[in-house]
Homo-oligomer: A and B are copies of this chain.
Amino acid sequence: MRIAILGFGSVGRGVAQVVQEKDLGITVTGLADSRSGIMDPDGIDLQAALDRKAKTGFCGDRSTAPLDVVDGAEYDALVEVSPTRIEDGEPAITHIVHALSRGKHAVTSNKGPIALAHRRLHTLAASHGAQLRYEATVCGAIPVLHVLQHDLLGNQVKALHGVMNGTCNFILTRMEDEGLTYDQALAEAREMGYAEADPSYDVKGIDAALKLVILANTIWDLGVTLDDVEITGIDLITPDAIRLACERETTIRLIAEAIPEKGLLRVSPRIIPHGHPLLVEGTLNAVTLHTDLAGELTFIGKGAGSVETASAVIGDLLYIGEHHAGAH
């Protein structure tokens, strides 16, 4: 399978490293960051590209634009992992539209395109016989979309609950374990590299809500957007609230929940009893699916990380290779 990697940040470099280290039958024939690109139908020298990126900040040739690679490289699947504006999902949406329009498969770790344009991209993919996969957009290394799409056949998912933002979970864990204030725990999260300089995207619940939108649209085809989610962040939680919860053998966590038959899509701090499967520590993510036959199933794993996210991207690529290799 030949792939083009669009975006050479943490995830893109993670994918390149895994492809380089493992014999997966994947060749990278196109590669671009926001300001340079490189194409080679026989396979790009990934180590050279990684070294060049580290030294110069460019993975390829400055005369080659990202869209030149999307439109011109010879590949079977586009890996769209470029930095993307959450407001409009660009430039990822344009890259994915161009690839699908060429009949190429697309795999992305970018939440924007899927949360903002799921139906449009899905329809475009179907009309060109191409696959669009996005396991990496939800809960990092946990293959929850694969499970939903392939492993629970015959089941109906009635509802889902999840801890979907590792930054918030880390802050709440530290507030509980060490009695820190929100500001102290946030400062620690920043030091550890778990929180951005502007943490509002995480702590206000936006990131978890985007994942909820993606899951809801994938499972139930609800066609919802961020505006349909009732969102409360964790930034107003006090040490007192956490202490009170703890005295009652419970803990506060930021829970994303979807219950379609009640019309409920919500991200909010919730009280969870000790011993509950969703009560994970630190930056872990967890998702519970409530199904009609299999009952409650909970999946726990790392929600972020270069190699962990690359794992989800690679899983999607190999799945496409196994099941849709003959499409083009």
Contacts and interface: CB of A to CB of B under 8 A. Distances in A.
A143 B150 CA distance: 10
Given A24-B154, A151-B147, A291-B311, A300 B297 contact: yes
A141 interface: yes
A143 B143 CA distance: 12
A191 to B, nearest CB: 22
A299 interface: yes
Given A150-B319, A280-B277, A294 B299 contact: no
A301 B296 contact: yes
Nearest to A291: B311
A300 B319 contact: no
Given A275-B281, A311-B291, A297 B142 contact: yes
A155 interface: yes
Interface in A55-114: none
Given A24-B154, A315-B155, A293 B281 contact: no
Contacts of A227: none
A293 B308 contact: yes
Interface string A285-300: 0000001011111111
A198 B279 CA distance: 35
Interface in A97-149: 141-143, 146-147
A38 to B, nearest CB: 24
A39 interface: no
A277 B300 CA distance: 7
A277 to B, nearest CB: 5
A153 interface: yes
Contacts of A300: 277, 297-300
Contacts of A302: 294-296
Contacts of A151: 143, 146-147, 150-151, 315
B293 A307 contact: yes
Query: In the complex, which of the residues A150, A279, A293 has the most CB atoms of chain B within 10 Å of its own CB atom?
Result: A293
A314 interface: yes
A224 to B, nearest CB: 25
Given A297-B301, A299-B298, A300-B298, A315 B275 contact: no
A152 interface: yes
B155 A311 contact: yes
Interface of A: 18, 22, 24, 141-143, 146-147, 150-155, 275, 277, 279-281, 284, 291, 293-302, 305, 307-308, 310-312, 314-315, 317-319, 322
Given A142-B294, A277-B280, 13 more contacts: A18-B154, A143-B151, A146-B147, A153-B319, A153-B322, A154-B315, A277-B284, A277-B300, A293-B307, A294-B302, A296-B302, A297-B299, A298-B298
29 contacts: A22-B154, A141-B293, A141-B294, A141-B297, A142-B294, A142-B297, A143-B147, A143-B294, A143-B297, A147-B151, A150-B319, A151-B151, A152-B311, A153-B315, A153-B319, A154-B311, A275-B279, A275-B281, A277-B284, A293-B310, A293-B311, A293-B314, A295-B301, A295-B308, A296-B301, A296-B302, A297-B301, A298-B299, A298-B300
